[in-house]
Structure 1
Amino acid sequence: MLSSGDPTERPFPVVRPEVWETYGPADLSAVPVFAGGFINFGYWEAVDLGQSLSQGDRIRSEQDLYRHVLDAVAPEGGRAVEVGCGLGLGCALALEEYGPAAVTGVDIHPQQLQRAREANSPLLATQPHRLTFALGAAEDLPLGDAEFDCLYSVEAAQHFPDLTAFAREAARVLGPGGRVAVTSFFTVEGAPEPAKRLAGLLDSFASGLDIARPVSRLTDALTEAGFADVRVASIGPQVWPGWDRWLARLWAPGTWPRNFLAAWEQQILDYYLVTATRP
């Protein structure tokens, strides 16, 4: 593992084929269900689900998921890094609303980073010292030791092949007192045969794009990496019903995307926010 942060010294990160296709040629950010390009399921607490949903509601839910995570890491005045930044719209939101000194967006897919630079070209032109993007894997970040005050990741950890390596890298790049916040979907603790059941319900698990693991796999990895005050909270009630209401505009009942709600109701899958502090 390199710690210099010099990308010229690092090998090109290995990208799993399912991830390469979905976030490269298929360009998931352009799919209508991800209106606004944030590529997350959304945090719907502030949206009235009893009314007809608009594209504005959908974008608000995606932004609010970022706000929920950023509230947990408190980036004001510090240096922040987002792992799995996609189009970098969350990086821009952090800069505009939370006042960090700088934000670095890391993504494993070169096509995503190219899109991120295009989407954020005005910010990159006017504030190049505050926003940067880097190619790298969650398990081998192209960043220096103790370089950041907070690290966050929004709906990307379900793709990370090695959560233990990710936790070690998070500990390495954060300085003392640094905060980490990860939000994503994981299997419910104690659910019988979760991988098999999820593969039967959801194409994203059947294809290998999403990896079925309990949330304790991440919390244990953070603890083993030396993090303290490791906490996990379910935010499923704020995610799954709204996500399904939005999917209902585009997908009929019985189609596989609608099974995310079913997986939650059957207590196989849930959505979590995991936080921790580097001593």
Structure 2
Amino acid sequence: MTESAEGTGPAVRPVVWQTYGPGDLGGQPIFGGGFINFGYWRAVDLARPLGEAERVRSQEDLYRHVLDTVAPRPGARVLEVGCGLGMGCVVMLREYGCAVTGMDIHPQQLSRARAAHAELLREEPARLRFVRGAAERMPCADGEFDAVVSVEAAQHFPDLGAFAAQTARVLRPGGRAAVAGFFTVDDAPGRPAELARLLESFDSGLDLARPVRALTDAFADAGLARVSAASIGRDVWPGWDRWLARWWAPDTWPRNFLRAYQEGILDYYVVTADRPR
């Protein structure tokens, strides 16, 4: 893997560098509370006006849903791949009692995470840390973690096979992985072009169009077992679109996430897998 333009650490694709560095995506109002995900809206009443409290709840609930699929015991060692500002790491630590390592490829994101959680890092140095690393090259020991999770970051990973291999390597025997993210529903050849027409994030290359099977196959090829993909789109896309309506009119490109779901092109999944004992 090449070095970044700044000469330190793994390479970051330019569009990712801009979006999460100078662009500071997590600081935008649509990502209330510093989380950077579309949210899991099952517990939110979408018929009522939505405020930041409901938005933050949706993002926290996405982490809760993912963590519940892993079911970590108190004290479990958890790696989050693509931790962003570290807000999900705090949910894992405080609500699930985990010892959490947040890993991100972007140094500016890590700087922001360390600043946002400086007090907690001082209070809980054995239970919270942030490290720089790529999904395809994790700076972690073999079998170091009881669980590996990634929430809405896999759409940026250039090599799902390498990510899966690294996940299998750093999981202990009996450990579990859970990845939440959006993928095409199948591998029809026209899917990337369809998404590029509908969604600017795919047209720019920020988001990479791959079928969910690309990840499930990668996990299986890496030797993981009980691999499954569960759609949670009905609890993601309508709520996300309802929230976006505060800023964007119908038929503007951000609103096309719901359209892509309704047209059977894109969906949101939680993919899980176990490392055999």
Of 89, 92, 95, the match for 1:94: 92
d(CA) in 2 for partners of 1:168 and 1:216? 16
C-alpha displacement of 1:75: 2.1
Match of 1:248 in 2: 245
Amino acid at match of 1:83: V
Match of 1:123 in 2: 120
Q: Does 1:236 align with 2:233?
A: yes
d(CA) in 1 for partners of 2:205 and 2:154? 13
Match of 1:218 in 2: 215
d(CA) in 2 for partners of 1:45 and 1:168? 33
C-alpha displacement of 1:73: 1.2
**1:218 partner SS:** helix
Of 135, 152, 155, the match for 1:155: 152
Match of 2:4 in 1: none
Amino acid at match of 2:97: G
**1:105 partner SS:** strand
**1:40 partner SS:** coil
Q: Does 1:83 align with 2:118?
A: no
Residues 113, 134 of structure 1: 8 Å contact kept = yes
Once the two structures are superposed, residues 97-129 of structure 1 have per-residue CA deviations (whole angstroms, 9 ceiling, x without a partner) of 0012x1100000000000000111111010111
Match of 2:107 in 1: 110
d(CA) in 2 for partners of 1:54 and 1:259? 22
Match of 1:31 in 2: 28
Amino acid at match of 1:20: W
d(CA) in 2 for partners of 1:233 and 1:66? 15
Residues 191, 268 of structure 1: 8 Å contact kept = no
Once the two structures are superposed, residues 173-196 of structure 1 have per-residue CA deviations (whole angstroms, 9 ceiling, x without a partner) of 011000000000000115551100
d(CA) in 1 for partners of 2:195 and 2:171? 34
> Residues 115-194 of structure 1: matches in 2 within 5 Å?
115-189=112-186, 191=188, 193-194=190-191
Once the two structures are superposed, residues 66-119 of structure 1 have per-residue CA deviations (whole angstroms, 9 ceiling, x without a partner) of 00001111222211000000000100110000012x110000000000000011
d(CA) in 1 for partners of 2:200 and 2:230? 26
Q: Which runs of 5+ in 2 are unaligned?
A: 2-7
d(CA) in 1 for partners of 2:57 and 2:189? 35
Amino acid at match of 1:135: R
Q: Which runs of 5+ in 1 are unaligned?
A: 2-10
Amino acid at match of 1:43: Y
- TM-score between the two structures when normalised by the length of structure 2: 0.96
Of 53, 57, 69, the match for 2:66: 69
Q: Structure 1 stretches (4+) deviating beyond 3 angstroms?
A: none
Residues 40, 236 of structure 2: 8 Å contact kept = yes
Residues 158, 186 of structure 1: 8 Å contact kept = yes
Amino acid at match of 1:80: V
C-alpha displacement of 1:253: 1.3
Change (3 A) 1:192 1:264: farther
Change (3 A) 1:172 1:207: same
d(CA) in 1 for partners of 2:270 and 2:212? 10
Residues 86, 102 of structure 2: 8 Å contact kept = yes
Count of residues in correspondence between the two structures: 270
Change (3 A) 1:235 1:205: same
